[in-house]
Amino acid sequence: MLSRVLQNDLPVLIAGPTASGKSALGIEIAQKFRGCIINADALQVYSDWQILTARPMGDELDACPHFMYGHVGLAQDYSVGHWLREVSAQIDAVKSNGLRPIILGGTGLYFMALTMGLTNIPDIPAEIRAEANALGADKGLDVFARELRKLDPATHSKIDTLNPARTQRAWEVLRATGKGLAQWQDETPPPLLPLDQTVALNLVSNKDWLNARIDQRFDMMVDMGALDECRAVMNNGWDEALPSCQAIGAKELIAHINGDMELVTAIDLAKTQTRQYAKRQRTWFRSKMKDWQQVQRVNDEWAITG
């Protein structure tokens, strides 16, 4: 059973695709083992998004302490390097208060940086970021993957080329430093939390169950006010090129708000996008997290399955 591997004071890492039940598992562990939850989701850091990113709220926040959620502005630059520096300080802070860190989210790159280390890439100058944003707006967000294929094949072969935020970041690194992201990563320093010093859990689930859960959750998001959330973001600096504006469903719901799409079509497209994202997450986790313990909900209990 899962409780056996938790009978220590090691930090707990919980990864898994969207809607797989990470928050429920994290809260259960936190309540049983005097823990707190630290965010490892790249979109849940942004203050403007709560509903569409499924950020913890209400009873979830009351159940145990949560940190590093909703603290970054929409236009604020925030990278995996920013997250790693913050999470290092946060882990020290919660440990000093006698709490067990439970680092939870669906951003695999955050976990890789945490357990394998992160290269100290120089900050990207504002003019390079502006050049990248203009290029993406002019040529489409897939331009960065195409450019990397030509100019930096080593990085192109390793990166998630379907993730425009990742490909733009890699292009910016190459443009700003003259050295590809893959080359920078080859110079990675020691990790903050080596995997063998953690309890690393990867949530797995039946595809049909997860897809049904994704569809049901998006309907709930709409009922909870996702359209109003999108309207607020539109009035607060919406820019499709910003990493903060990649919340799945936002583009489709905003198209509906602008009168360019029927609501039912926007919802269907958003659900499709979410299911495709979950598929990419599952594929990535299977490839990169082979040494993590697989956990699944079995008969109303969490169990290690692999």
Model confidence pLDDT, tens digit, residues 166-224: 899 999 999 999 999 999 888 878 899 999 999 999 999 899 999 999 999 999 999 99
Which residues line the annotated binding site?
Answer: 16-23
Which residues line the annotated binding site for substrate?
Answer: 18-23
Does residue 141 sit in the same domain as residue 75?
no
Asked whether the beta carbons of 273 and 93 are under 8 A apart, the reply is no
pLDDT at 60: 96
Does residue 197 sit in the same domain as residue 295?
yes
Low-confidence ranges of the chain (pLDDT < 70): 1
Does residue 91 sit in the same domain as residue 10?
yes
Tallying the residues shown for the chain, one arrives at: 306
Does residue 165 sit in the same domain as residue 87?
no
pLDDT at 276: 96
CATH number of the domain within which 250 lies: 1.10.287.890
Does residue 68 sit in the same domain as residue 24?
yes
pLDDT at 154: 95
The span from the first CA to the last CA of the chain, in angstroms, equals: 12
Does residue 197 sit in the same domain as residue 76?
yes
Token pair for residue 98?
Answer: 């006698």
Does residue 197 sit in the same domain as residue 64?
yes
CATH number of the domain within which 146 lies: 1.10.20.140
**Residues pairing with 294 in the sheet:** 202
Residue from 287, 297, 143, 276 nearest 209 by CA: 297
Does residue 109 sit in the same domain as residue 158?
no
What type of residue sits at position 26? G
Does residue 72 sit in the same domain as residue 212?
no
pLDDT at 185: 80
Q: Which residue has the tokens 């120089």?
A: 122
How many separate domains does the chain show?
A: 3
Which residues line the annotated binding site for ATP?
Answer: 16-23
Does residue 41 sit in the same domain as residue 80?
yes
pLDDT at 8: 92
Does residue 62 sit in the same domain as residue 198?
yes
Does residue 197 sit in the same domain as residue 59?
yes
Other CB atoms within 10 Å distance of the CB of residue 118: 22
Q: Is this prediction's pTM over 0.75?
A: yes
Domain span at residue 230? 207-281
pLDDT at 1: 65
Long-range pairs for 53-58: beta carbons < 8 A, 24 or more residues apart: 53/247, 54/18, 54/19, 54/23, 54/217, 54/221, 56/23
